[in-house]
Amino acid sequence: MEESQEITVNAGDIARFADVGRAAVSNWRRRHEDFPQPVGGTASSPLFSLSEVTAWLRGNGKSFEVSLGDLVWQRMRTTVDDLRLGELVGRVGAFLLFLHRDPSGWRDHGVRSLSGDPGARPLSELVAAATTDLPGAPGFRADDRTLLRLTARLAAENGPLAAFEFLCARYVEAHSRQLSVTRDDVAALMIRLVGGDSGGAGPVLDPACGVGTLLLNAAAPLGQEINETNALLSAVRLLLRGAPARIVAGDSLREDGLAGELAAAVVCDPPFNERAWGYEELAGDPRWEYGLPPRGEPELAWVQHCLAHVRPGGLVAVLMPAAAASRRPGKRIRGNLLRAGALRAVIALAPGGPDLWVLRRPDGGRPPSQLLMVDAGEDLSIVEPAWHAYAADPEAELSGESRTVRIIDLLDDEVDLAPGRHRPQQGGPDFVRDFTGALDRFREASATLPDAPPALEALTERQELPTTTVGELVKAGLVTILQAPPKMTAGSGPVPVLTAEDAVAGTAPSGGTVLDPALVMVRPDDIVTTALGAVRVVERSGAALGPQLTLYRVDPERLDPHFLAGFLRSADASRVHPSSSRLDVRRARVPVLPVAEQRRYGTAFRELAVLEDRLRETAALGETLIRLGFDGLVDGHLRPCDQRV
pLDDT of residue 388 exceeding 90, the answer is yes
CATH superfamily entry for domain 184-422? Vaccinia Virus protein VP39 (3.40.50.150)
Task: Say whether pLDDT at 577 is over 50.
Answer: no
Residues contacting 337, CB < 8 A, separation 6+:
290, 303, 343, 359
- In this prediction, residue 451 carries a pLDDT of 66
pLDDT band at residue 343, thresholds of 50, 70 and 90? very high
Task: Walk across the sheet containing 549-554 and list its strands.
Answer: 479-483, 549-554, 527-530, 535-537
Q: Where are the alpha helices (DSSP H) in 176-330?
A: 184-193, 228-240, 298-308
| 191 has pLDDT over 90 | yes
Confidence category of residue 430, pLDDT binned at 50, 70, 90: low
Lowest mean pLDDT among 340-354, 369-383, 491-505: 491-505
- For residues 241 and 230, the answer to whether their CB atoms sit within 8 Å is no
Q: What is the DSSP string of 379-408?
A: -GGGHHHHHHHHHH-TTS---TTEEEEEHH
pLDDT at 1 (0 to 100): 38
pLDDT above 50 for 220: yes
- 3-state secondary structure (DSSP) of residue 279: coil
Query: 376 near 330, Cβ under 8 Å?
Result: no
pLDDT at 602 over 80: yes
Please give the pLDDT value at position 464.
81
Q: How confident is the model at residue 58 (pLDDT cuts 50, 70, 90)?
A: confident
Q: How confident is the model at residue 576 (pLDDT cuts 50, 70, 90)?
A: very low
Residues in the chain: 645
Give kind and range of the element (H or E) at residue 90: helix 85-101
Q: How far is CA 628 from CA 398, 437, 491, in A?
A: 17, 11, 34
Asked whether residue 256 carries a pLDDT value surpassing 50, the answer given is yes
Query: What's the rounded mean pLDDT across residues 308-326?
Result: 95
CA–CA dist 533, 538 (Å, integer): 16
pLDDT value, residue 645 = 52
Amino acid 362: pLDDT: 95
Any idea where the domains of the chain sit in the sequence? 1-53, 67-83+92-177, 184-422, 467-592
| CATH code for residues 467-592 | 3.90.220.20
Per-residue model confidence (pLDDT) at position 155 = 95
Average pLDDT over residues 361-376: 91
3-state helix/strand/coil string of 409-456: HHCCCCCCCCHHHHCCCCCHHHHHHHHHHHHHHHHHHHHCCCCCCCCC
d(CA 339, CA 407): 8
Whole-number Å distance between alpha carbons of 252 and 562: 59
Long-range contacts, 148-153 (Cβ 8 Å, 24+): 148/95, 148/114, 148/123, 149/3, 149/114, 150/3, 150/68, 150/71, 150/72, 150/75, 151/72, 151/92, 151/95, 151/96, 152/99, 152/106, 152/110, 153/68
Q: pLDDT at position 572, please?
A: 46
